[in-house]
Chains A and B, each alone.
Chain A
Amino acid sequence: MSELPDPIRSGLARGWRVHGGPHAALPQQVSCDVVVVGSGAGAGITAELLTQAGLDVVMIEEGPLKSSSDFRQRESDAYPALYQESAARKTADKAITILQGRCVGGSTTVNWTSSFRTPPPTLAYWQQHFALKDYDADALAPWFLQAERRLHISDWLAAPNENNELLRRGAARLGIAAAAIKRNVKSCWNLGSCGMGCPTNAKQSMLVTTIPAALDAGARLLVQTRAQRFELLNGKVTGLLCHPVRQDGRPEAAVPTRIVAKHYVVSGGAINSPALLMRSELPDPYARLGSRTFLHPVVISAALFDQRVEAWAGAPQTLYSDHFLGVTAIDGPIGYKLEAPPLHPVIVASTLAGFGPTQAAQLREFPHMHGLLALMRDGFHALSPGGNVRLRADGSPQLDYPLNEFVMDGARRAFASMAEIQFSAGARRVQPVHEMAPMTSSWAEARRVIAGLDVRPHLTRVVSAHVMGGCGMAGSESLGVVRPDGVHWQVENLSVHDGSLFPTSIGANPQLSVYGVTNKLATGLAKRLTGRDVRLA
């Protein structure tokens, strides 16, 4: 266990009001000014700003409260404790594996710190197609700037690890630009364990920034507690029913907790937020709820180099290339962003293709393995409508995201782009992560293999770490679930503040988009509820 100071355990010792799980018992009745469902990017920003305005805030989190003392840099600890469905959440046909947080801090506790402002072409598309006239880069700049200051989002000045450097080197030899990724870290130890929870509290996640600020200001936090359904009367929410849940998601046989608030903010992430609204049977006159859910579907290329890469070591994802987002129009064939993900044994062994002696031989070369991933920018074309959230019989959500030919055409092009970059960087072998793809030993061979690959789902390994949409924001009632100020079009005391707002995918790792947009929305909400001006930084 880390001997470093643990701000969460210190806060608990100071008397933070945390209920549920191993903490104080859940009360049966709670009243407050605002309840925030979730504790991830949107929830954390919202809770800090609303408490700053003097509001009595209650946060509800389905996962546990874990902190640096618990973060042992082991996948076997982290995935079951900190991720939705043990980091193996699947789409309905099991063709896409989704990494999404399920703990206090949400995905910000386990993400890889990549921080990008929402790209201007994405905002322009929103303005044109979703009537979001105030969402342009200049208007949003102050909101992003505050979030960047609050969360220490800044240039990463240390040398990139070899895993990232190979992306830069290979791209440069092909005349393809790669650039540095800003990170939300302070005094980072450059360990590479971000995905298992930061053991040194360097990552400026919601867990160590906004949530402690809100709790210090008197907010309450209910953990291991699921927001089950809203009660609705005459177009207003009158209460929220919550259940304590076990690790396997089943409700404990305890009496539900009923929370009554003046305003309700849903920030449970882009699968769970629409699911809560669906369970509550909220009005949805234009059938938008749960639809247009985007994933940035990801395909991966694995390479072997003569030198050691040690892709587990050092800050992950410090370099990227947007070259292949720019070679086609945003509403043309699907474009993709390239990054170099961290590799650790469980995620590598369960994500690469194959089994038996072939797999054993490949994994023995793990220290020499390089990974590239391509994040496909979905949601900008009629043939890229994303997925739909639906409810299982027990009310738990499931995302149906069919991978059609339009998306998988992007997968084929991305495999080729990544293989060419890896060979250009000096790779000895490259293998697209696909059940039929052999190890290739030259770019010419890889190009031929990839051109002939059957890139159907299941044969092609597709993953995602970015879930967006499902409660889309729009300037016209028929185009969205919520208004441009985040308030539900039909339910006046309900807002959505998380990645489910986005009417398309972002085209970049979305955390800073969530921070910036919810900063704007929560600042406005605080003003409307209290008349007070608040500021994130």
Chain B
Amino acid sequence: MMQHCAPMRRRTFFGFGLGIGGAILLGLGGVSIATWRPGVVGGRLSPSGRSVFESVGRAVLDGSLPAESSSRDAAVRALLTRLDVTISAFPWPVQEEISQLLALLSTTAGRLGLARLRHDWPEAKIGEVQAALQDMRTSALSLRQQAYHALRDLTNAAFYADPTTWAQIGYPGPNPI
């Protein structure tokens, strides 16, 4: 099966062929297959995928997550659970692309090349992750912009799907029938 074949996955890198993504990887001396870990396994975030999204979630939702730290941690855990639900509903080729993006971002070369983030995701400060996201967002490279939109849009979609987030934005929820 293709999803268990790392070299095959690299050839279909992020669904866009080897163009820009390949150039980033080659410029950084390539990514060792040994460090390539899928970001999505069986429709759920893998540990490395969770690590990326936990960090991205705290950065994207800064100002929206609860201020108190244990409540904020619980909200991030709930976000990761809803991301699993969101991702598992996508068609298989889309899940594969998300998996590949997260896998790339979980490697040192990919994190530096694509996100320009110096510290690994769990250690990076919110401000550093926000700066990385902003750099991707306004990059001249389409692939970096696409990566930004995937991370940011998925985070927001999963977060605001939860009715407990609606009060803070003044949305009343479904009409009574």
Task: Show the binding face of B for A, using Cβ within 8 Å.
Answer: 12, 16, 43, 59-64, 82, 85-86, 88-95, 130, 133, 137-138, 142, 145-146, 149-150, 152-153, 156-157, 159-163, 165-166, 168-171, 173-175, 177
Interchain CB contact (< 8 A) of B93 among A3, A4, A191, A396 = A396
Interchain CB contact (< 8 A) of A345 among B60, B149, B165 = B165
A131 near B: Cβ within 8 Å?
Answer: no
Interface residues on A, range: 35 or more
Please, what's the 1-or-0 string for A444-461, where 1 marks a CB less than 8 Å from any CB in chain B?
000000000000011100
Decide: A355 and B133 in contact? CB cutoff 8 A. yes
- In the bound complex, residues from chain A placing their C-beta under 8 Å from that of B93 are 249, 392, 394, 396
Decide: B157 and A88 in contact? CB cutoff 8 A. yes
Decide: A459 and B145 in contact? CB cutoff 8 A. yes
Interface residue ranges of A350-406 to B (CB < 8 Å) = 350, 355-361, 363-364, 366-367, 392-394, 396
Interface residue ranges of A167-219 to B (CB < 8 Å) = 189, 191-193, 199-200
Decide: B138 and A359 in contact? CB cutoff 8 A. no
Assuming A85-B90, A345-B166, A355-B60, what are 6 further A-B pairs, CB within 8 angstroms?
A: A2-B177, A80-B86, A247-B89, A355-B59, A364-B168, A394-B92
Interchain CB contact (< 8 A) of A360 among B64, B82, B153 = B64
Question: How far is A357 from B61 in the complex, measured between Cα atoms in Å?
Answer: 7
Decide: B156 and A248 in contact? CB cutoff 8 A. no
Tell me the minimal C-beta distance from A271 to chain B in angstroms. Answer: 12
Known interface pairs A2-B177, A360-B62. Does A367 touch B161 (Cβ–Cβ under 8 Å)?
A: no
Tell me the minimal C-beta distance from B10 to chain A in angstroms. Answer: 15
Interface residue ranges of A222-272 to B (CB < 8 Å) = 247-250
Decide: A367 and B170 in contact? CB cutoff 8 A. yes
Decide: B177 and A94 in contact? CB cutoff 8 A. no
Q: Which stretch, A42-50, A69-77, A328-336, touches the partner chain B? A: A69-77
Closest to A72 in B: B174
The 4 closest A-B pairs by CB, nearest first: A360-B63, A80-B89, A73-B174, A357-B63
Closest to A368 in B: B170
- In the bound complex, residues from chain A placing their C-beta under 8 Å from that of B177 are 2-4, 199-200
Question: How far is A248 from B166 in the complex, measured between Cα atoms in Å?
Answer: 28
Tell me the minimal C-beta distance from A356 to chain B in angstroms. Answer: 5
Decide: B157 and A346 in contact? CB cutoff 8 A. yes
Known interface pairs A75-B161, A85-B91. Does A345 touch B142 (Cβ–Cβ under 8 Å)?
A: no
- In the bound complex, residues from chain B placing their C-beta under 8 Å from that of A192 are 175
- In the bound complex, residues from chain A placing their C-beta under 8 Å from that of B160 are 345-346, 348-350
A325 near B: Cβ within 8 Å?
Answer: no
Question: How far is A3 from B177 in the complex, measured between Cα atoms in Å?
Answer: 8
Interface residue ranges of A1-55 to B (CB < 8 Å) = 2-4
Closest to A102 in B: B91
Interface residue ranges of A309-350 to B (CB < 8 Å) = 312, 344-346, 348-350
Closest to B56 in A: A355
Known interface pairs A88-B153, A199-B177, A359-B64. Does A364 touch B92 (Cβ–Cβ under 8 Å)?
A: no
Decide: A393 and B12 in contact? CB cutoff 8 A. yes
Decide: B90 and A86 in contact? CB cutoff 8 A. yes
Known interface pairs A2-B177, A355-B133, A366-B171. Does A94 touch B149 (Cβ–Cβ under 8 Å)?
A: yes
A435 near B: Cβ within 8 Å?
Answer: yes
Question: How far is A254 from B127 in the complex, measured between Cα atoms in Å?
Answer: 50
A93 near B: Cβ within 8 Å?
Answer: yes
Interchain CB contact (< 8 A) of A88 among B90, B133, B137 = B90
Decide: A349 and B157 in contact? CB cutoff 8 A. yes
Question: How far is A459 from B165 in the complex, measured between Cα atoms in Å?
Answer: 27
Tell me the minimal C-beta distance from A366 to chain B in angstroms. Answer: 4
Known interface pairs A349-B156, A355-B60, A364-B168. Does A436 touch B92 (Cβ–Cβ under 8 Å)?
A: no
- In the bound complex, residues from chain A placing their C-beta under 8 Å from that of B161 are 74-76, 345-346
Decide: B64 and A248 in contact? CB cutoff 8 A. no
Interchain CB contact (< 8 A) of B149 among A189, A359, A364, A458 = A458
- In the bound complex, residues from chain B placing their C-beta under 8 Å from that of A72 are 174
Most buried by A among B60, B64, B138, B159: B64
Tell me the minimal C-beta distance from B83 to chain A in angstroms. Answer: 12
Tell me the minimal C-beta distance from A200 to chain B in angstroms. Answer: 7
Decide: A248 and B91 in contact? CB cutoff 8 A. yes
Closest to A74 in B: B174
Decide: B171 and A312 in contact? CB cutoff 8 A. yes
Most buried by A among B12, B137, B169: B169
- In the bound complex, residues from chain B placing their C-beta under 8 Å from that of A88 are 90, 94, 153, 157
Known interface pairs A350-B157, A458-B146. Does A436 touch B138 (Cβ–Cβ under 8 Å)?
A: yes
Known interface pairs A359-B64, A360-B63. Does A86 touch B175 (Cβ–Cβ under 8 Å)?
A: no
- In the bound complex, residues from chain B placing their C-beta under 8 Å from that of A350 are 153, 156-157, 160
Decide: B89 and A366 in contact? CB cutoff 8 A. no
Closest to B58 in A: A356
A-B contact pairs, 30 of them (CB 8 A): A4-B177, A73-B173, A73-B174, A79-B89, A80-B89, A85-B94, A86-B90, A88-B153, A93-B16, A94-B150, A199-B177, A248-B88, A248-B92, A345-B160, A345-B166, A345-B169, A346-B156, A355-B61, A355-B130, A356-B130, A358-B63, A360-B61, A360-B62, A361-B63, A363-B169, A366-B170, A393-B12, A457-B142, A458-B149, A459-B145
Decide: B142 and A366 in contact? CB cutoff 8 A. no
Closest to A80 in B: B89
Decide: B175 and A193 in contact? CB cutoff 8 A. yes
Decide: B91 and A249 in contact? CB cutoff 8 A. yes
Question: How far is A358 from B62 in the complex, measured between Cα atoms in Å?
Answer: 9
- In the bound complex, residues from chain A placing their C-beta under 8 Å from that of B82 are 76
Known interface pairs A85-B94, A396-B93. Does A435 touch B169 (Cβ–Cβ under 8 Å)?
A: no
- In the bound complex, residues from chain B placing their C-beta under 8 Å from that of A75 are 161
Question: How far is A346 from B153 in the complex, measured between Cα atoms in Å?
Answer: 9
